[in-house]
Structure 1
């Protein structure tokens, strides 16, 4: 079984720390942030949830479990699954920090992705 490195979640506005690959997983570019300040290794917008799902969820903590289940379903769609496979490959090579612009990263799609990637699932 291939080794999976550590996967973390952080806000894209946080300064880089450690040697982990910085991967933005939002569909839209974060407001007020330059590409230089973001210091990204990759922008993987194809793994972001659909606009419909994102708007339905609205970061309502009561909906997080339902959001997670629906998002995992979306990740089975061919384009998203291909992008997810790319993230899995990156996680086999090095530590990864999944970045999002949300103010609540612990209940975001990035948190769902991190659990999925860390579990190798």
Structure 2
């Protein structure tokens, strides 16, 4: 089953399937419009890493490396079991939602790859 990615500001679609927000900070969108099934702030980059990255493309390689280190450490690694279980039990799509403007250089892209390889 595919894991999709989408900006949370885009309109929710039926084919999104299970919608999981993977940002640590709530985006500027109402809870009604977000239509979330789960908010996984525990697997989002730490505040320190998020602030360091600042969505600067030239830092993405190092951001990816640091974020992967966070994801494979204790607490976050355990938290990955939750969305992974949802993916395994879900008959439809799973969509990782994020607030970043850049659709290719964000934490959802890194997390998607980790979940696919989990």
For the residues of structure 1 that align with 2:103 and 2:79, how far apart are their CA atoms?
20
Gaps of 5+ in 1: none
Match of 1:90 in 2: 86
The answer to whether 1:20 aligns with 2:17 is yes
Coordinate RMSD, CA, aligned = 1.2
For the residues of structure 2 that align with 1:80 and 1:116, how far apart are their CA atoms?
12
Gaps of 5+ in 2: none
Any residues of structure 2 matched to 1:1-121 within 5 Å, and which?
5-17=1-13, 18-31=15-28, 33-94=29-90, 95-118=93-116, 120-121=117-118
Asked if the contact 2:19–2:96 (Cα under 8 Å) also holds between the matched residues in 1, the reply is yes
How many residues get paired?
Answer: 115
Normalising by structure 2, what TM-score? 0.90
The CA deviation string for residues 1-57 of structure 1, in whole angstroms up to 9 with x for no partner, is xxxx211111011111215110001011112x1111100010010001011111111
For the residues of structure 1 that align with 2:75 and 2:103, how far apart are their CA atoms?
24
